[in-house]
């Protein structure tokens, strides 16, 4: 199953990890469960080795695409490189898919409760997400 998981560097600079469905250089790479690596700009020195290291997180690749199982077609022209990620990265990828799936189930549960009238719908505040600061 690990052979079906690929790490892809795109010409846009994005680095993604996904499960392959089919590979065709003519029609595009068809993939699912696409997550993007997001490097966090926190650098620390490992006390054991004295080496710097940084962190990354995995998140949905496309904005508004909350179901990672959706099928995505990647234009092969946009691909700079493809590799099979190390087992530790595959493990973290699978863990994140489980977390996203659990979050999706929670959202569906809340939506169902709202539809059945069991839970009041959340209404946006009049001011939205804008914070007013006093001015002189």
When pLDDT is cut at 50, 70 and 90, the band that residue 89 belongs to is: very high
Architecture of domain 2-115: Roll (2.30)
CA neighbor of 36 nearest in space, from 57, 12, 21, 5: 57
State whether the Cα torsion 14-19-23-29 is positive or negative. negative
- Residue 62 per-residue DSSP state: S
CA neighbor of 68 nearest in space, from 29, 98, 38, 28: 98
CA neighbor of 11 nearest in space, from 64, 74, 57, 53: 74
pLDDT value of position 74: 92
Kindly report, residue by residue over 16-75, the tens digit of the pLDDT. 999 999 988 788 899 999 999 987 766 677 788 877 767 788 888 887 676 767 889 999
Domain borders along the chain are 2-115
Two tokens, residue 86: 């190390």
Distance CA 101, CA 69 (A): 9
Q: What share of the chain in percent tops pLDDT 90?
A: 35
Quote the pTM value.
Answer: 0.70
Distance CA 53, CA 46 (A): 7
pLDDT value of position 48: 85
pLDDT value of position 136: 56
Checking if the pLDDT of 120 tops 60, the result is: no
Checking if the pLDDT of 1 tops 50, the result is: no
pLDDT value of position 99: 87
When pLDDT is cut at 50, 70 and 90, the band that residue 135 belongs to is: low
Which is more confidently placed, 90 or 130? 90
CA neighbor of 97 nearest in space, from 71, 72, 74, 66: 66
């Amino acid at each position: 199953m690990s052979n079906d998981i690929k790490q892809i560097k795109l010409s846009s600079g994005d680095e993604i990890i996904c499960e392959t469905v089919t590979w065709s250089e003519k029609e595009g790479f068809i993939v699912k469960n696409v997550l993007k690596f997001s490097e966090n700009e926190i650098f620390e020195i490992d006390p054991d080795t004295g080496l710097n290291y940084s962190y990354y997180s995995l998140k949905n690749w496309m904005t508004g695409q909350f179901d990672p199982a959706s099928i995505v077609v990647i234009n092969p022209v946009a691909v700079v490189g493809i590799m099979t990620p190390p087992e530790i990265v595959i493990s973290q990828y699978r863990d994140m898919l489980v977390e996203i799936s659990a979050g999706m189930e929670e959202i569906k549960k809340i939506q169902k409760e709202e539809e059945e009238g069991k839970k009041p719908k959340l209404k946006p505040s009049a001011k939205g997400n804008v914070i007013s600061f006093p001015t002189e």
